[in-house]
Amino acid sequence: MIAKMTNFAEFLKVVVMNKLIQFFRDWTLPISMIVGASAYMIWHQFDLSVETHRIANKTVSIAQPLMIFMMLFISFCKVDPKELRFIKWHRKGLLIQVLSFVAGALILIYFPEVKQSCGAVIEAAMICMICPTATAAAVVTQKLNGNATTLVTYTTLINIANAIVVSAFVPLIHPEGGVSFSSAFFSIMAKVFPMLICPLFLAAIVRYFFPKFHSLVLKTKDLAFYIWVVSLALAIAVTAKGFVHSDVSVWVMVGIAIASLLSCAVQFVVGKVIGKVDDDTISGGQALGQKNTVFAIWMGYTFFIPITSLAGGFYSLWHNAFNSWQLYQVKHKGKL
């Protein structure tokens, strides 16, 4: 009798553990976001020294780029450089992102009364529209059974377009800032190059000169995804910090939140529509919809009204929530 009870207890334990593991796999991204936000809120409650906060900020500033670099390197190792090519939806995606940004810029330049009343919200929408594709988008695209190759090509193109377009219009929107085209361009490229181009070059070198190591990297099926999960928790923690320390009025914050939500929804939908022409729906949607929100936050407080940096934080919530739903659909229903 005791033996039967012991066996039943072991069986129950295995069932419960499997259910828990399955739950965490199904809801990895929401859990990561909750952990990141909760971690910062708990951290904020402690009365810690200025030096402790400085060390924590420094650690995060080093850990985030390092994880993004590793994540991109693994993803790029799985992409054959010979397959990188410009296709139809790339041109349409670039036009949509660039023209929407330019339209917002022209409104702010030629209608100062609009700039005065709701300039922050318009700039927030502009940032969300022109912001480059997330460095983690290739990882998610692979998990969604999309084409990471076409997405990598677009990611490179939109980063270059971003640097040129933002550099051209920022001096016109905020002439008092004294930011010239060249200074804005090189500032953006200095931010983009190490995080995007270097992993691509390193992956190419490993592919051609270290084939054994390359094959070893290819065997790490979900490593890039789980590195992203940790990176996402850190990004949400940084976002929570921005919200906690912001002295912005509630209405402006609501306006920025709505602008980022609409920008996110529009770009995911439009991206999937234009990608459908080349039978590349997943990549099109992720290319336009999944953004490098850390870069958006940096763009906001560097080139625009500092308050617009909140747009990147809100956008991070929206696109990760949608990605969670997409991953759930693929995992449990086999399709989107």
Q: What is the pLDDT of residues 106-159, one digit of tens each?
A: 999 899 888 888 888 999 999 999 998 987 788 788 888 888 888 888 988 888
3-state secondary structure at position 86: coil
Neighbours of 27 (CB within 10 A): 15
Among residues 83, 80, 137, which one has the least CA distance to residue 326? 137
User: Buried b / exposed e across 218-233, counting CB within 10 Å, b at 16+?
Assistant: eeeeeebbebbbbbbb
Task: Please give the biggest Cα pair distance in the chain.
Answer: 85
What integer pLDDT is reported at residue 65 of this predicted model?
Answer: 76
What's the rounded Cα separation, in Å, for the pair 296 and 266?
17
Q: Measure CA 219 to chain center.
A: 25
Lowest-pLDDT range of 138-142, 212-216, 217-221: 217-221
CA neighbours closer than 13 Å in the CB half-sphere of residue 161: 24
Enter the tokens of residue 218: 């290819």
What is the average pLDDT value for the chain, to the nearest integer?
A: 81
Which has the higher per-residue pLDDT, 40 or 224? 40
In contact, 229 and 29? CB cutoff 8 Å: yes
Can you state the percent helix, strand and coil of the chain, rounding each to 5? Answer: 85, 0, 15
Rounded to 10 degrees, the C-alpha dihedral 231/237/238/240 comes to 150
Question: Residue 133 gets which letter from DSSP?
Answer: B
- Residue 6 scores a pLDDT above 70: no
Neighbours of 292 (CB within 10 A): 28
- Length, in residues, of the chain: 336
Residue type, position 25, single letter: R
CA angle at 261 for the pair 157 and 167, rounded to the nearest 5°: 35
Q: For 52-75, what is the mean pLDDT?
A: 80
Q: Dihedral sign, CA of 306, 307, 311, 317?
A: positive
Q: Measure CA 160 to chain center.
A: 17
What integer pLDDT is reported at residue 321 of this predicted model?
Answer: 87
Enter the tokens of residue 329: 């659909």
Lowest-pLDDT range of 72-76, 244-248, 284-288, 303-307: 244-248
Enter the tokens of residue 197: 């181009």
pLDDT digits (tens, 9 = 90+) for 78-92: 767 676 778 889 999
